[in-house]
Amino acid sequence: MKKFAIAIHGGAGTILRSSMTPEKELQYTKGLEEAILAGELVLSKGGNAIDAVETAIRSLEDNPLFNAGRGAVFNHEGKNEMDASIMEGKTLLAGAVTGIKNIKNPITLARTVMDKSEHVFLSGLGAMEFAEKMKLEFANDEYFFVQLRYDQLLQAQKSDTILLDHNEIYTPANSRKGTVGCVALDLFGNLAAGTSTGGMTNKKYGRVGDSPMIGAGTYANNKTCAVSCTGHGEYFIRSVVAYDISCLMEYKGFSLKEACDLVVYKKLVDIRGEGGLIALDSNGNIELPYNSEGMYRAKKSSDSPLYIGIYKD
Amino acid sequence: MKKFAIAIHGGAGTILRSSMTPEKELQYTKGLEEAILAGELVLSKGGNAIDAVETAIRSLEDNPLFNAGRGAVFNHEGKNEMDASIMEGKTLLAGAVTGIKNIKNPITLARTVMDKSEHVFLSGLGAMEFAEKMKLEFANDEYFFVQLRYDQLLQAQKSDTILLDHNEIYTPANSRKGTVGCVALDLFGNLAAGTSTGGMTNKKYGRVGDSPMIGAGTYANNKTCAVSCTGHGEYFIRSVVAYDISCLMEYKGFSLKEACDLVVYKKLVDIRGEGGLIALDSNGNIELPYNSEGMYRAKKSSDSPLYIGIYKD
């Protein structure tokens, strides 16, 4: 029986019920629902996993609530600097961008790098030059101006530290998370994964996190799984998290759940790497593990109903 | 019995005996010898693997023959844009930089990111701002001006393509290689790996290769191995090559040689990923596999003599 499946995340971190209003919770829930249904529609109509991933992530990027695209946080210079990556499990083709500005949908630029360039990973002004040549949609600074994000920057600059992506309450310990991502399985048995982020509030030095790094933040392989990560990027890079899940399945014969549990609840916890991930195998099994207080997440498949979660269950 | 071991590479590609003069061959051999002996001295005196890696790579960076540091090729804008990464097998700490200019020793900047910042990966102007703050040594454009490299750029621009790093003869099929790297095991049983590159001649769009990517071009873990790659970076990124070697050892029980053989002679060949790597396990076993015509390489350990190779044996 052919089946499809999709999962998304909108970032992990200290997301506490006590600091959320019912209105805000409803907005997040609606944002997650809109994004996953947009991706699901692609799959249910017989579309490709890679298109579903791009579609769902575009929806999250267009939503100012999430730290990616329009809702990207401000860096130290008061700019919205973004990263994204995408990978196709059938061909192992991939595309990624880092340090880009004024691109409306970074995930589409990553997709275009994959489809139209001979490269995998483009950065900074060069990546934007490529975007211009490929006629990608640009947006001005006003589009990316979200008052909450700017207030977060001012708050972070005052204390000279970096700030949590989606928390309104300033908590320096949770200042490096905030990402959106999607994994999908289409009716043809193909997997795909993508991740997009605005990085860290008040970030300096052109810091690159795990989100644009194939193997760390994003990985897809039809033989094993599709993975998109969110969390304290430095730990996810050093642990090569997304590919680690795949290797545990391919080389050690672990199930998706066993691989996710080991990496998120043991290996990352041991090195204090806070965050989570969404993962999907070629049988349509979905895992949404996280070791932080919460993770914006949703899943749906051809034989299971929509699930949306924010806090610890 | 405590032992130490070290291996270096100076890039892989179409390196043919027929296109090499005896003088040139001697220069390369001397360059490799100088670099590995500098690294070995650190180890034999009881120094750390990470210091040996940095020392050997600095020597290769200072040598205009190799595509890293001073000998970095020119990008499309006529600039020398460099990448580097380093990782320590004991702590799994890592540092990496991409898109940096006018830094005399990129590997030392990667090391400084590892030691002195809370990040793993810095890019572009931001990385250079960090370098300035950390008082790294800068060098002006004249220092990086190597006539051969500039001629290569003009040649590549004429045909609007990218050019081999260290070949004097223009061969578009071999235009993406050229890297230096080192892996080391110290007397305390600690592994380390590092990679540094000037990228591709005439490269555009801020392309990032595998060299600065932890997991793809560089990886070290005391439990398994230390790896530094050189080759067609896009394939090495998609295959997460360095971490793949480690996973095959840790999860599948492969020896270093079995893991290297599978990845370099089978998996990479299957997707036409040309290049090679140097790898070292915690028992001091060294592998120098490559599927290209040649690879500048050298190895030495406390119980084996110096070996230097350029062409296929």
- pLDDT of residue A237 exceeding 80: yes
Query: Among partner residues A96, A99, A214, which is closest to B124 by beta-carbon distance?
Result: A99
* pLDDT at site B95: 98
Residue A157's pLDDT band (cuts 50, 70, 90): confident
CA distance B187 to B42: 10
* pLDDT at site B174: 42
Give per-residue pLDDT as tens, B65-100. 999 999 988 888 888 899 999 999 999 999 999 999
The sign one gets for the Cα dihedral A269, B111, A211, A149 is positive
**Cβ–Cβ under 8 Å, residues A238 and B214:** yes
B216, closest residue in chain A (CA to CA): A215
- pLDDT of residue A83 exceeding 90: yes
Query: Residue A115: its chain B contacts at CB < 8 A?
Result: none
Comparing A121 with A200, the larger pLDDT belongs to: A121
- pLDDT of residue B163 exceeding 70: no
Query: Residue B126: its chain A contacts at CB < 8 A?
Result: 204-207
Query: Residue A94: its chain B contacts at CB < 8 A?
Result: 237-238
Answer yes or no: pTM beyond 0.90.
yes
Q: Tell me whether residues A206 and B117 touch, CB distance under 8 A.
A: no
* Alpha carbon of residue B33 to chain centroid: 16
> Which residues of chain B approach chain A closer than 8 Å at the C-beta?
87, 92-94, 96, 98-99, 117-127, 129-130, 204-209, 213-216, 219, 233-234, 237-240, 243-244, 247-248, 251-252, 271
B120, closest residue in chain A (CA to CA): A234
* pLDDT at site B245: 98
User: Worst-scoring range by mean pLDDT, A160-174, B189-203, B222-236, B259-273?
Assistant: A160-174
Q: Any idea where the domains of chain A sit in the sequence?
A: 5-311
Comparing B11 with B313, the larger pLDDT belongs to: B11
Residue A168's pLDDT band (cuts 50, 70, 90): very low
Give per-residue pLDDT as tens, B207-260. 999 999 999 999 999 999 999 999 999 999 999 999 999 999 999 999 999 999
Give per-residue pLDDT as tens, A253-298. 999 999 999 999 999 999 999 999 999 999 999 999 999 999 999 9
* pLDDT at site B153: 82
| Mean pLDDT across A28-56 | 98
- pLDDT of residue A58 exceeding 90: yes
* pLDDT at site A166: 44
Q: Tell me what percent of the residues of chain B surpass a pLDDT of 70.
A: 94
**Looking at CA atoms only, how far is residue A219 from chain B in angstroms?**
9
| Mean pLDDT across B110-132 | 96
Of A243, A196, A192, nearest in space to A216 by CA: A243
CATH architecture of B5-311: 4-Layer Sandwich (3.60)
Residue A111's pLDDT band (cuts 50, 70, 90): very high
**Cβ–Cβ under 8 Å, residues B206 and B99:** yes
User: Worst-scoring range by mean pLDDT, A287-301, B6-20, B187-201?
Assistant: B6-20
* pLDDT at site A177: 60
CA distance A247 to A219: 11
* pLDDT at site B162: 60
Q: Tell me whether residues B238 and A93 touch, CB distance under 8 A.
A: yes
- pLDDT of residue A27 exceeding 70: yes
* pLDDT at site B269: 97
> Which residues is A94 bridged to in the sheet?
A87
In order of A37, A219, A229, B237, the CA distances from A191 in angstroms are 17, 10, 16, 18
Question: Half-sphere exposure (CA, 13 Å, Cβ side) for A249?
Answer: 25
Residue B165's pLDDT band (cuts 50, 70, 90): very low
* pLDDT at site B74: 84
| Mean pLDDT across A39-63 | 98
Strands B94-100 and B121-123: parallel
CA distance A20 to A18: 6
CA distance B219 to B54: 14
* pLDDT at site A274: 94
- pLDDT of residue A99 exceeding 80: yes
Catalytic residue set of B? 179
Query: Residue B134: its chain A contacts at CB < 8 A?
Result: none
Strands B5-13 and B82-88: unpaired
* Catalytic-role residue among A55, A108, A179, A224: A179
Q: Tell me what percent of the residues of chain A surpass a pLDDT of 90.
A: 79
Residue A1's pLDDT band (cuts 50, 70, 90): low
- pLDDT of residue B55 exceeding 60: yes
| Mean pLDDT across A62-82 | 90
Sort A140 into a burial class: Cβ within 10 Å, 0-12 / 13-18 / 19+.
exposed
For chain B, how big is the Rg over CA atoms in Å? 17
This model of the complex carries an ipTM of 0.93
> Is the backbone of residue B102 left (phi > 0), alpha (psi -120 to 50) or beta?
left
* pLDDT at site B200: 83
Query: Among partner residues B87, B127, B207, which is closest to A206 by beta-carbon distance?
Result: B127
DSSP label at residue A286: E
* Alpha carbon of residue B250 to chain centroid: 23
| Mean pLDDT across A168-183 | 63
In order of A107, B278, B288, the CA distances from B264 in angstroms are 31, 11, 10
Q: List the structure tokens of B285.
A: 């076993």
- pLDDT of residue B127 exceeding 70: yes
H or E element: which one contains B88? strand B82-88
| Mean pLDDT across A73-77 | 84
